[in-house]
């Protein structure tokens, strides 16, 4: 069975209330969507909550899936939007606004290259990302991981484009500092 036909069958069966199809859809995408939600959550419990809430929305809106693009991509977008909506509701004014002024961060500077060339394991990066404020990590994830533009991020989060750029610059700076500190601690323990 080709992938598109399989997706169409799963969607149809879910819409007909087939619990096995719903369970299959949930289990098939749970792991990947948990990974997506972990990037926006403050911890595993919140990420699991994001996934649960996201799947509730997915099953409620499944009739709107038009088959254009992949089902997984559609599910991912709902998950990301759910995370953003929840974060936006939980906080007011957590985004740092510098008006339309922001700090430019240029990739490829000597400090950036030195940091990238050092030995950093993935868990250290994940830990550093979790140390970022929710505002910084949200903008970082949307821009770096999800590939949204600053204009799109500003529209989604109801902030200015300058605030989005500022938060990204500060997120990068803080990540660099956290990782440098971790590397320094690793070298001291050798």
- 139 shares a domain with 63: no
Query: Is 95 within the bounds of a domain?
Result: no
98 in a domain, yes or no?
Answer: no
| Statement to judge: residues 120 and 75 lie in one domain | no
Q: What pTM was computed for the model?
A: 0.62
Domain that holds residue 84: 3-90
Residue 98 burial (CB count, 10 A) = 15
Do 63 and 31 sit in the same domain of this protein? yes
Instruction: Tell me, yes or no, whether 16 and 82 share the same domain.
Output: yes
> How far apart are the C-alpha atoms of 57 and 51, rounded to whole Å?
10
Are 62 and 12 found together in one domain? Answer: yes
On whether both 129 and 177 belong to a single domain, the answer is yes
Distance between CA atoms of residues 173 and 91, nearest Å: 23
In a domain? residue 101? no
Q: Which two tokens stand for residue 65?
A: 């899936």
Closest CA to 53 of 90, 10, 4: 90
Per-residue pLDDT 10s for the chain (190 aa) are 566 668 889 999 999 999 999 999 999 999 999 999 988 888 899 999 999 999 999 999 999 998 888 899 999 999 999 998 888 777 654 444 444 333 333 333 333 434 444 556 677 777 788 888 888 988 998 998 888 899 999 988 889 999 999 999 999 999 888 888 877 776 566 5
Same domain, 86 and 114: no
CB count, 10 Å around CB of 36?
25
pLDDT of res. 105:
31
């Amino acid at each position: 069975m080709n992938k598109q036909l399989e997706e169409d069958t799963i969607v149809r069966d879910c819409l007909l209330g087939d619990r096995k199809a719903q369970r299959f859809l949930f289990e098939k995408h749970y792991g990947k969507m948990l990974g997506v939600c972990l990037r926006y959550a403050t911890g595993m419990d919140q990420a699991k909550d994001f996934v649960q809430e996201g799947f509730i929305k997915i099953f409620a809106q499944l009739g709107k899936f038009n088959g254009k693009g992949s089902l997984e991509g559609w599910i991912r977008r709902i998950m990301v939007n759910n995370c953003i909506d929840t974060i936006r509701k939980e906080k007011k004014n957590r985004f740092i606004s510098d008006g339309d002024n922001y700090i430019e961060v240029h990739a490829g500077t000597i400090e950036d290259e030195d940091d990238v060339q050092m030995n950093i394991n993935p868990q250290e990066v994940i830990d550093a990302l979790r140390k970022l404020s929710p505002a910084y990590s949200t903008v970082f994830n949307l821009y770096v991981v999800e590939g949204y533009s600053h204009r799109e991020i500003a529209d989604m989060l109801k902030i200015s484009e300058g605030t989005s750029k500022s938060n990204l610059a500060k997120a990068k700076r803080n990540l660099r500092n956290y990782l440098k500190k971790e590397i320094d601690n690793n070298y001291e323990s050798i």
